């Protein structure tokens, strides 16, 4: 299930993520400046996300090198996007846009009414990216968490 991303050039393709992609995906996330927590983002945690969401987590790659990745996690009500990242030297080529579109396409096929995501308050570029793609800032809610 591979597709070529628009405007990417080269031989960039998108496919479903597998647990075998873990090491390369973490490299991409870190290079892209995403917060990688070795508890929540461990290989075991990724295996669980992939098992629960086998059709909504993707990697972009050229030849055998992963250059972008995204997680889409459906909780029964909404699909949440986590860790959309592209190698910095390959950003602005449509790769992030293509990965986002793949996750949104899966959500639409599933009949999911709303796609949500969180952005680090310091990551203005990511916020601008998502706003350009039609996402709105939720002004009536805060995202809370509790570590267990």
Give the pLDDT confidence score for residue 124 in this predicted structure. 77
- Give the pairing type, strands 3-4 and 12-16: antiparallel
- For residues 67 and 61, the answer to whether their CB atoms sit within 8 Å is yes
- Digit-coded pLDDT (tens) for 57-115: 999 999 889 999 999 999 988 999 999 999 999 998 899 999 999 999 999 999 998 99
Cβ burial 103-141 (10 Å sphere, 16+ → b, else e): bbebbeeeebeebbbebeeeeeebeebbeeeebeeeeee
Mean model confidence pLDDT for the chain: 87
- Digit-coded pLDDT (tens) for 99-122: 999 999 999 999 998 998 888 777
CB atoms within 10 A of CB 88: 11
Q: Taking 90 as the threshold, does the pLDDT of residue 52 lie above it?
A: yes
Give the pLDDT confidence score for residue 7 in this predicted structure. 56
Give the pLDDT confidence score for residue 32 in this predicted structure. 93
Q: Taking 70 as the threshold, does the pLDDT of residue 9 lie above it?
A: no
- For residues 46 and 131, the answer to whether their CB atoms sit within 8 Å is no
pLDDT band, residue 5 (cuts 50/70/90): low
- For residues 113 and 76, the answer to whether their CB atoms sit within 8 Å is no
């Amino acid at each position: 299930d591979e597709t070529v991303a628009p405007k990417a050039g080269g031989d960039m393709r998108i496919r479903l993520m597998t647990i075998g992609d873990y090491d390369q995906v973490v490299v991409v996330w870190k290079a892209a400046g995403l917060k990688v927590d070795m508890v929540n983002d461990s290989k075991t945690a990724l295996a669980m996300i992939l098992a629960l969401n086998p059709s909504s987590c993707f990697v972009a790659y050229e030849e055998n090198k992963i250059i972008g990745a995204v997680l889409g996690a459906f909780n029964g009500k909404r699909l949440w996007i986590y860790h959309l990242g592209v190698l910095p030297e390959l950003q602005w080529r449509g790769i992030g846009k293509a990965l986002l579109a793949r996750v949104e396409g899966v959500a639409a096929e599933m009949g999911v009414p709303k796609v949500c995501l969180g952005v680090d308050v310091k990551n203005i570029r990511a916020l601008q990216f998502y706003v350009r793609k039609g996402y709105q800032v939720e002004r009536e809610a805060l995202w809370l968490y509790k570590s267990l």
